[in-house]
Amino acid sequence: MKYYIGIDLGGTNIKAGIVDEVCRILAQSDCPTALPRPAEEVCDDMLKACTATLEQAKIGWDDITGIGIGCPGTVNSQSGIVEYSNNLAWHQFPMRDYLQSRTERPVRVGNDANVAALGEVCAGSAKGAQSAVILTLGTGVGSGVVLNSQIWSGHRYGAAEFGHMVIEQGGRLCTCGRRGCLEAYASATALIAFTKEAIGRCPESLMGKIAAENGKIDGRTAFEAMRRGDAAAGEVAETYINYLACGVANIINILQPEMISLGGGISKEGDALLEPLRKKAYAQAFGGCDAGVTRIEACTLGNQAGIIGAAMLFHQTSELAGR
């Protein structure tokens, strides 16, 4: 049995896990990323997390076949250089070489969304699919593509930014600087904005009461109020799903993958989200696409997708695709 270390490097936390060749996580640990600080310091803490995880699993560095890392930003998967990461404030950092020199283990690095997509294909909702797109509906809209069982990272390693395709020309301002991006309409942040606006228009709505009960407005507020029969909340949910369906239909029309899997907190709404989404997206798909062509499901691995996908960078049949 081969063992790998998978590391999910986020802006808030570093998560490390020991993963075997059939995608089982044997042990894991985490620690704060504690930004901003130099890349070398963050990498040193990554290694501490790895050591703690090895101790839990009762194995040594010599038992590890390789270390895989999912890192936010533009990552050159061939050289292992983090070319640019806005979240980490890193530029041209040679992550692979730095970690290899300290562990004497092979290291592979990929973009975090791509790596999470690989995790879902290897062990989650899209297991066995030759082509899959993973959309994470969180603060933004993260995305990753696996084609022919390989991550598609693009000519310059920045592919699959579906969150930044425009679905509303001249629309809401996105964090990327463009207007009308899918992220500005289909992220959890966007859903919260729609909910706040609706509460302002309809102060008698249950959404306001639910928000007060929970102490905040979040991505669940409108869906919870809708389930309790609130008409204004139903309009919010429908508006949100309409925008998401536009983006999903675009992806189907461009790639026609076997699977589109949705991650993030909103995906936990289950059929309240998925059933109308499928209907609306398939209605817009070229040629009358239906569920027999591209399946639309919720992700199943949750926070473990990044760890498993990072480890499985060593289990792909060839180097990361895109060239």
CATH number at residue 24: 3.30.420.40
DSSP 3-state assignment of 209? helix
Does 211 lie in the same domain as 101? no
Q: Do residue 150 and residue 193 come from a single domain?
A: yes
Q: Are residues 104 and 166 in the same domain?
A: no
Look up residue 20 and give its two tokens.
């075997």
CB atoms inside a 10 Å sphere around CB 314: 19
Q: Are strands 259-263 and 131-137 parallel, antiparallel or unpaired?
A: parallel
What does the pLDDT read at residue 316? 64
Residue 219 · residue 266 · CB < 8 Å: yes
Over its C-alpha atoms, the chain yields an Rg (Å, rounded) of: 20
Residues 239 and 196 occupy one common structural domain = yes
Those residues whose C-beta lies under 8 Å from the C-beta of residue 16, and which sit 6 or more positions away, are: 5, 6, 7, 8, 28, 29, 30, 46, 49, 50, 52, 53, 307
Let me know whether 111 and 209 are in one domain. Answer: no
203 and 308 housed in the same domain: no
User: Which residue intervals of the chain are DSSP H helices?
Assistant: 39-57, 95-103, 112-123, 183-186, 188-201, 206-214, 221-227, 231-255, 271-284, 305-311
Pair 108, 230 in one domain:
no
The pLDDT profile of the chain, 323 residues, written as one tens digit per residue, is: 899 999 999 888 999 999 999 999 999 999 999 999 999 999 999 999 999 999 999 999 999 999 999 999 899 999 999 999 888 989 999 999 999 999 999 999 999 999 999 999 999 999 989 999 999 999 899 999 998 878 998 888 888 999 999 999 999 999 889 999 999 999 999 999 999 999 999 999 999 999 999 999 999 999 999 999 999 999 999 999 999 999 999 999 999 999 999 999 999 999 999 999 999 999 999 887 665 689 999 999 998 999 999 999 987 643 333 33
Q: Kindly state whether residues 177 and 264 are assigned to the same domain.
A: yes
C-alpha–C-alpha distance, residues 233 and 191, integer Å: 11
Q: Which domain holds residue 141?
A: 129-298
Helix, strand, coil percent content, the chain, rounded in steps of 5: 40, 25, 35
| Same domain flag for 260 and 315 | no
Burial class (CB in 10 A: 0-12, 13-18, 19+), 288: exposed
Whether residue 268 sits in one domain with residue 316: no
Do 78 and 141 belong together in one domain? no
189 within 8 A of 264, measured Cβ to Cβ:
no
**CA-to-CA separations, 179 to 121, 185, 241, 250, in angstroms, rounded:** 32, 10, 19, 17
- Asked if 233 and 192 count as a contact pair (C-beta separation under 8 A), the reply is no
Of 264, 255, 321, residue with least CA distance to 298: 264
Q: How many structural domains are present in the chain?
A: 2
pTM: 0.88
Kindly give, in sequence order, each residue whose CB lies less than 8 Å from that of residue 247, ignoring residues fewer than 6 positions away. Answer: 135, 141, 162, 165, 167, 182, 185, 186
Structure tokens at 250: 């675009």
Which amino acid, 300?
Answer: T
Which residue type occupies 309?
G
Does one domain contain both 253 and 311?
Answer: no
Q: Which two tokens stand for residue 256?
A: 């026609």
